[in-house]
Structures are given as C-alpha cells and as structure tokens.
Amino acid sequence: MPITYDAVKALSADLYDWSLRAVPADTKDGLRHAIGTESQDGARKVLRMMLTSAQKAEDEDRFVCSDAGVPVYHVTIGTAARLDGDIKAAISDGFDELVGRISPPLLKHVTNPLTNERGYKGKDMPLVTWDVAGGADWVEILCQPKALGSGRWAALETFSFPSLAEIEAYVMKVVMQAGSQHCPPVIIGVGIGGSFDVAARIASKATMRRVGSVNPEPTLAAMEERLLRAVNATGFGPMGTGGDTTALAVHVDYASGHGYTPVAVCFNCWINRRTRARLHNDGTVERFE
C-alpha cells in the first residue's frame, strides 16, 4: 500500500491544525524548569501565564496565538517510500482544505510582499522544504507555522574564516536586535557554514530540535550551553519585560563550506509551534509531536 495523495493531504492539514492548539511537551517542560530558575517575581508570573495559556488552549481546543502564521512544512522523503500521486500538490491542497473547514477560522496572513495584500493563498505558499532520507520507507512531514516572533528577527551575515569568538559575538548581536520583541523565551537556531541557503536551512532546522536535548557533538554542546547562559544574561526576560529567561534553548549546527562562512540566527517564539509525523508504506501514521 503506497503513501497516497489523500494521506499526505489529510496529514498536512491535521499537522497545521494541531500545531495551533498546543505547545509541545518539551517546551512546556522548559517553561516549568524556567519558573524554578527565574529570579524575578514578575517574570515568574509571566511564565506561569504562559503555561496557563497553553493548558487552556489544550483543554478548550483554542488557538494559543491568534496569529496562526503561514504554513511552513519540512518534508523528508525516504528513498524506499512508495508514493502514489502528486504529494507536492497534496500539501498545498491540504492547506486549502483546512482553511475551508477549520474552526475557529484562520485570519488572513498570507501576504503578497509586493503589495502587502493579505489572503489565504499566494505564490509558493505553503512554504515547503524537501529533503531525502536514504533507505527509509516513510515520508516525514514537520509543520512549523511562522509568524513575526518566529520569523521577523532572523538574520544572516557572511564572514571570512571567522573565529568562534566572532561567530558567538554575531549571535549576540542578533539577540540584541530582537531585544524584547520576539515573544521570549525563545528557541534560538544557529547555522554555521555551508552556503547562504544552507546556513539558513540548518539554523531553521536547529530550532526544530527538542528543548532539553543535548547536541551529540561535544564542541556544539559546549557552545550551546555557553550561548544559552549568555543570552539569558542579557535580562530581556519573558515577553521582554525583564528576567533571566530570554531563551529556553540555543541549538547550533554547521556544514562544511569554503572558508567564507555564513552564520544564520533564527528564533521561535515561546509557543514553539511544531508538529511532526511519518507516513509509512504500510499505511500507518506515526505521530511524534
């Protein structure tokens, strides 16, 4: 039984829908942990409100944020997956179907960048990145809707043979540019090297890693730890009104490159919208988050 157009369409729509109504478990754990470490009373109150909001969204089937963002998907196709139908069209059609049926309705956030007109449809929307997994017999779809707090403050700069000190200073520069405005505490993704597009992609992918997970590469694990301490020493705090909790996690990845080294830094706001599932060749759907 192959992986069909219908299955991809239905799952794409569901992943988007689910992402709007819950905060991932690892992220809620990160918020709970932060309440224990946060030294400022007002900041602890804001963190508690975040957990209350997340719980109320789940209990009452509400959106956590009114800005449902735009649909962003990362699709990984196993080379042993058997496909039946146009799965590219299925993702786009799934979003269209969701717009028609979702309750409460979505606000119109898909924006034509040339006119600033907003609607539910637009060129190249949904935004999909495609990847291939050698030997796998599944298709994995990760949905990560993007809005201001999870998109607006990202930045990239290209250096020549930078030291780690220069790279880390740049991360802090981007953190300062975002300041109080990206609905902290955020999840920060850093992508180093490769090329312009690859650095941005690995930074974005780094935000998808679970909060609390440890980077398997010791050099990166150490960098993540010290950058997290550095970001939280800035004092912007939850919702940027002061505190020790500006980020829940800093996740770093890299790709080898030429020596000109792009460094990309991006953020996900505290609700960290993210859902992920696999469609298997035998027709089963395996939901991870």
Partner 1 sequence: MSASDHAGFRTLRMPLSREDARSLRAGDMILVDGEIVITAGLPTVQRLVACAEDGHAPPFPLDGGSLLHLGSYSQDTTDGGLEILYMNPTTSTRFNRLMPTLIRHFGLTAVGGKGGLDAGCVEAMREVGCVYLSFLGGGAPLHSAAIEAVREVAYPDLVAHYRLVRLAVRGLGPLTVGIDAHGNSLFDTLQHQAQDRMPAILAQLAKDRAAAGN
10, 18, 33, 63: which one binds partner 1 (CB under 8 A): 63
11, 237, 249, 262: which one binds partner 1 (CB under 8 A): 237
230 counts as binding partner 1 under rule CB under 8 A: yes
Draw the binding track, 13-52, toward partner 1 (x: CB under 8 A; -: no contact). ----------x------------------x--xx-xxx-x
114 counts as binding partner 1 under rule CB under 8 A: no
265 counts as binding partner 1 under rule CB under 8 A: no
Minimum separation from the CB atom of position 213 to partner 1 (A) = 19
5, 138, 236, 254: which one binds partner 1 (CB under 8 A): 236
Draw the binding track, 68-107, toward partner 1 (x: CB under 8 A; -: no contact). ------------------------------------xx-x
229 counts as binding partner 1 under rule CB under 8 A: yes
56 with 62: CB under 8 angstroms? Answer: yes
Could you please report the per-residue DSSP string of the chain? --EEHHHHHHHHHHHHHHHHS---HHHHHHHHHHHHH---HHHHHHHHHHHHHHHHHHHHT--S-S---B-EEEEEEETT--EES-HHHHHHHHHHHHHHH-SSPPP--EE-TTT--EES--TT-SEEEEEEETT--EEEEEE--B-GGGTTT-EEEEEES--HHHHHHHHHHHHHHHTT-S-SSEEEEEEEES-HHHHHHHHHHHTTSPTT---SSHHHHHHHHHHHHHHHTS---GGGSS-S-SEEEEEEEEE--SSEEEEEEEEE-TT---EEEEEETTS-EEE--
Minimum separation from the CB atom of position 283 to partner 1 (A) = 35
228 counts as binding partner 1 under rule CB under 8 A: no
Minimum separation from the CB atom of position 104 to partner 1 (A) = 4
Size of interface with partner 1, in residues (CB under 8 A): 58
Query: By the criterion CB under 8 A, which residues form the site for partner 1?
Result: 23, 42, 45-46, 48-50, 52-54, 56-57, 60, 62-67, 104-105, 107-108, 118, 148-149, 152, 164-165, 168-169, 172, 176, 179-183, 219, 222-223, 225-227, 229-230, 233-237, 239-242, 269-271
